Structure 1
């Protein structure tokens, strides 16, 4: 697992990549300057105290946060809901184009690192995986993309081909092995096969389950967590449909297994069965590590999916009952931990994976996060500016709000 402790900046490239973030506000209310160098945070000081030999970015009026990460995307089906009456195209060029566009969309929202689940096997074999890997290369430093290989069957006669394909997928470049044990006739055998391949190639495990059967979920969690660290299971939405005592026991078992639950607050819509969202407060209270992802980006499962981690955090706060800080932690620190990424803090020595959002408080940012600046490896990789103008009743011209003594920033409500 990557070291999560702060490391000194790379002095050899410090001056070439230096960037000063001036006047940003932190969640504790401090206004600070932040100097980035060599892909890391070199220094943090009070506003106006730092200088840098390179570029300077004025972040007055912005809240500076550790960048979110996306632990549960589906690049091979992303942006395929434009024609819901037609099956998803797995043409290699189409998959690559859609995967690239979806990744750029998510990076623009602030997710500088993505983990995407890609089906392997069946008639398409490894073609979708190869296309997504090409999309990963085309991002060219704008963001990092890790692929989870997802076979359909891994047991019995039919599963022999799936097991061979899974091993080939890892050799080809998939960095994580996963899948959906619930769809295999032998769920426990499926998990055992996944864990075997993961052990052979020393890679993480990320499993899908709806968790409608708490006993089955407990068995899968015990197998995965007991045999291998760094296992993620999600979205576990079925826990929300169980009686409180049964859900509580399942949560305790997940905590004992040491697995991370990746929930999907956006859920599903548009003709797909509404599956709900995992009970995040219950899971957190039991000591389960919880992360949150966006899931589908405009595919059949969610034709209006935005792929926006701040929307996921907003839903956890507005509907899941979490405080704003807890909700944002699920899409940032929690997501990074689930993906086995180094920790990010706005402190010297930590990776320069940052998101600046216009606003003053985290609650306001989750409510109206329009303008964003995304920093990946110490460089600005995406910028979104939102301007709102109010017109007179006739709609003839924009109102001159400053002249009237009032200026409205939609992100802050100030």
Structure 2
């Protein structure tokens, strides 16, 4: 019987900003786990978690299980959680802050800064930054990501899609990566069809930025229906105005079959509505099966800059949506790019902001970055529960409060029953800062 423990390796965290040609750390193959022994659950029980292939087959009191398979992971001192999923990223833009640096800090300035930079950005640069950002997510515990990616006007319009499809292939053993193509009103239908043929999974876009919001919403839904894809739109990412497209979107997708993905990201405008308006929006989305993704770090940064007093939070009313039966997830959105100069690619950071800015309790905040995110993404349930997929995050922490408040550094990441990242902090001596040792494919 082999006992698996976290091993030391090169840091998976690249320097920032990361040049497109910077070498990445050496990879290590994922290692299958048959049992996680002596790990603690959120309810306080210490258990053995048995895994067969890509399924959790048993969870029993620690030491009470029959003889395990050959690979046993020592889980003593760790808390076993469902691994986070990132339902809304922009990997093609990630880590580009140093090259863009918008003059202003609102959404319009960020869009202008990125579009100016995107004219010269090539597929290799996109690939290098996206791969580095994706590996940061894996190292912090995320095992599934949905990334939006732009179509380009100059040069190869599909270079972002191709770069992300390449990342998906390279990280196939450690990460589930979904690609949503961001369609603008100037992008012809043939370009969108080509993007799906090149690897995009979903139709995306931001119709509230179009000159005819309703018409663009209908066009994007039409394309999703023609191409047989799901849809994930940036919905009403503003606080003031009457150019919302939420009602049109929910009406169009309400008749879709239940399993077909339909997602509304941002939804900032709902947070500026009165209570009856919020309840009506929740009822419409719940009835249409639309999942909502709130993105606290980016929308707290971008929104509300024009308010001199009582600055709005820029978030949808998460609690009201949950109470209204809406499936809600949370993500980080942009990380160190023109839309958000900060961010750690860590679901614990997103959960912390939900507690502070959305007034959620700790357990609900963690649900939004794990089970809620997986549901919105159309992924099978995961976690330390028999019958679920063993996508797990083991954290050396006393409880969910430690996980969210401290962003505990000691982590073991398991995807589909295999260890894909292990990280430990080793204190060399009392006068030397802690050293982080990581192993991440």
TM-score bracket for the superposition, by shorter chain length: 0.7 to 0.9
Structure 1 residues 379 and 309 mapped into 2: Cα distance closer, same or farther (>3 Å)? same
Q: Give 1:40's aligned residue.
A: 55
* Per-residue CA distance 1:41-80 (angstroms, 9 max, x = gap): 1322111123323222111111101111110000110110
Between 331-340 and 274-283, report the one with greater CA deviation.
274-283
Mapped partners of 2:200, 2:378: distance in 1? 15
Q: Give 1:144's aligned residue.
A: 176
Residues 1:70 and 2:86 aligned together: yes
Between 71-80 and 119-128, report the one with greater CA deviation.
119-128
Q: Give 1:362's aligned residue.
A: 400
What count of residue pairs does the alignment treat as equivalent? 373
Between 29-38 and 228-237, report the one with greater CA deviation.
228-237
Q: Is the 8 A contact 1:121 1:165 kept in 2?
A: no
Mapped partners of 2:317, 2:80: distance in 1? 29
Q: How does 1:364-403 map to 2 (within 5 A)?
A: 364-370=402-408, 371-387=410-426, 391=430
Q: Give 1:253's aligned residue.
A: 284
Structure 1 residues 18 and 83 mapped into 2: Cα distance closer, same or farther (>3 Å)? closer
Q: How does 1:200-215 map to 2 (within 5 A)?
A: 200-209=226-235, 210=237, 212=239, 213=242
2:43 aligns with one of 17, 20, 28: 28
Structure 1 residues 180 and 264 mapped into 2: Cα distance closer, same or farther (>3 Å)? same
Mapped partners of 1:206, 1:268: distance in 2? 17
* RCO higher in structure (CA 8 A, sep ≥6): 2
* Per-residue CA distance 1:9-46 (angstroms, 9 max, x = gap): xxxxxxx9443211111111111011222122132211
Q: How does 1:308-319 map to 2 (within 5 A)?
A: 308-319=346-357
Q: How does 1:14-413 map to 2 (within 5 A)?
A: 17-50=32-65, 51-85=67-101, 87-88=117-118, 90-123=121-154, 124-153=156-185, 159=186, 161-209=187-235, 210=237, 212=239, 213=242, 216-227=245-256, 229=258, 230-268=261-299, 276-370=314-408, 371-387=410-426, 391=430
RMSD: 2.4
Deviation, 1:257, is 2.5
3-state DSSP of counterpart to 2:190: helix
Q: Is the 8 A contact 1:208 1:234 kept in 2?
A: yes
Deviation, 1:239, is 2.0
Q: Is the 8 A contact 2:207 2:245 kept in 1?
A: no
**TM-score scaled to structure 1, two decimals?**
0.84
Q: Is the 8 A contact 2:300 2:314 kept in 1?
A: no
Q: Give 2:8's aligned residue.
A: none
Q: Give 1:8's aligned residue.
A: none
Q: Is the 8 A contact 1:357 1:369 kept in 2?
A: no
Mapped partners of 2:268, 2:77: distance in 1? 38
Structure 1 residues 271 and 309 mapped into 2: Cα distance closer, same or farther (>3 Å)? closer
**TM-score scaled to structure 2, two decimals?**
0.79
Mapped partners of 2:280, 2:302: distance in 1? 32
Deviation, 1:361, is 1.4
* Per-residue CA distance 1:293-315 (angstroms, 9 max, x = gap): 11111111111122211211122
